[in-house]
Structure 1
Amino acid sequence: MKSFEEELRKDLHQFLLSMNEVDERMPECPDVEDKWEEITRAYLPDGIREFQGYPSVSLGWMMYLGMAVAKMWDTEWEIYSKVENLYAYMRDKRGYDAMDEYIREEVLLLQGDDYTALEKLAGECASRVYNALMHQRYEPGTKEAFNGYVACLHQLYLMGAAIQLKRMGYHMTQMN
């Protein structure tokens, strides 16, 4: 599974790099990364339920969550780091189906072309990851299929955070 997740990471990173959405060097933001497990544990029941009918939504919403957590880290982390269930906090604002809109409008404060461009970008990333997952030919309902799905969510979360950190002016360069 590690090699599949590493392939996902490389593919998404190269794709986003080609669009100038991330830096060559991926960011290190332990506060945001540390929230991954908690958010995923809360997200999985909804994400798995939606995957059958709406795989791109099930995957893409995790990219939005990564972006939202990065934005929260930059603005009011003293408050948001103490929220018991950040995923439920965001989901419950408008419901699962409109969580992307809530994050783009109320957390990331996007409008117009920026709002639409992010919707397209998240959709493209989710489609890439879904395609990669389907090419693994995991048997549905197996441990391997579950682990593959979680690997996809993990990379989308991390890439979402990387995109948002760059958009907020955090540029990752190696120090000499």
Structure 2
Amino acid sequence: MNRRILFAAIVSCFAGATALAGDQLAFDSIGSMMLEHEAEENHDTSDMYASTALPDRVAQRIQCKQEEAELKARMKELEASFTRSFSQSLKDFKMRELKAIEAKATEMTAHLKALEFDRAERLELVSATLATHQAELAKYRKAFKDRNLLRQVERALEQAERALLAE
């Protein structure tokens, strides 16, 4: 059960971070695909120039190599940007989740304290009521002439006391 919850939390963190990165991530991934395609075209073109090795195309081949290097550098920039935005989004998402969990824990603690206070208050009231009844019983104990009736009343009071304490 805990593993399932942990797995669900990890998946939701990853999905949330990806969603938070949003436009920047989509732009970076599309841009990197376009740059990869352009780099492949330039590489193919430079290979074609290398195979023909015509003197007037040597300058074009050098230019293609330079463009390919520039595109690779841009791809590295985009990958770094993607990594930064993704990690920042993940960090922001984790902070929001942590704050929500802390707020819920604080709320539950306050609720438990209120319940504990209410329970103590009720026990105090029950104790006072039982003390009053026992005082009344002690007062009239001598008035009972029938010992069986006295025992029944005492048992009933003890059962009531146990029932109230059990609550």
Query: How high is the TM-score relative to the length of structure 2?
Result: 0.27
- Higher normalized contact order (CA 8 Å, seq sep 6+, divided by chain length): 1
Structure 1 or 2, whichever has the larger Rg, is: 2
